[in-house]
Structure 1
Amino acid sequence: MSKPAFGPILYFAIAFALSLYFMFAAVQGDFGLFRRAEILAEADTMRAQLAQVRAEVAQMDNLTQRLSDDYLDLDLLDERARTVLGMVRADEIVIR
């Protein structure tokens, strides 16, 4: 009577299972291809937000500089005062 040869079959099954596990981890794991695509998309979104915030900061810097002691833009000062205080001159007509 000969013994069944399960050694090579068992070895092949374990090797196949491990290769499937590592392929799955390489594609869908925490450091896999899908996660990398998500991170790249997130980075693009954040770059767009950064550009928008930088534009807003530049606009605020411009307004701050125009209302500083060194350079005073009287038109901007008048506009801001009217907006904040909600007042008009006596010779103006307001249409709403």
Structure 2
Amino acid sequence: MQRSSRPSATFLLYLCIATLLSCYFAYAAVRGDLGVIERLVIDAQLKDLEAEKAALEQQIAQLSNKTLRMSDDYLDLDLLDEQARSVLGMMRSDELVIRESSVSR
């Protein structure tokens, strides 16, 4: 009995299936829903959202300070004067007004 040096068909079939499965899992690890590239995209979105959150927290702090200064417990007369002038559109007799349309750009 003489053995042939040629691999059998079943061995080649198993090798082909193993190679295809390996390629599929490698592709899924890189490009899949939970892959490396998706992770990088999510990390970039996270950084953007954290920056937006910090900006919103700063805006909330400014508005809270303004609200505190307008409350009954603490009254900032300068802020009250500024808001009254803005809403009523009035000014004192000793002030000078410069309109935006008259300023050259």
Q: CA deviation at 1:88?
A: 1.2
Task: Give the whole-Å Cα distance in 2 for the aligned partners of 1:42 and 1:92.
Answer: 49
1:75 equivalent in alignment to 2:78: yes
Q: Percent identity?
A: 53
- How many residues matched? 94
Picking from 35, 40, 51, the partner of 2:38 is 35
**Counterpart AA for 1:14:** I
Structure 1, unmatched stretches of 5+, are none
Encode CA deviations 1:26-46: one digit per residue, 9 max, x unaligned: 000000000001111111111
**Counterpart AA for 2:55:** Q
Picking from 84, 89, 92, the partner of 1:86 is 89
Cα RMSD after superposing both structures: 1.5
Runs of 4+, deviation exceeding 3 Å: none
Q: CA deviation at 1:84?
A: 2.0
1:5 equivalent in alignment to 2:8: yes
- Aligned with 2:40: secondary structure? helix
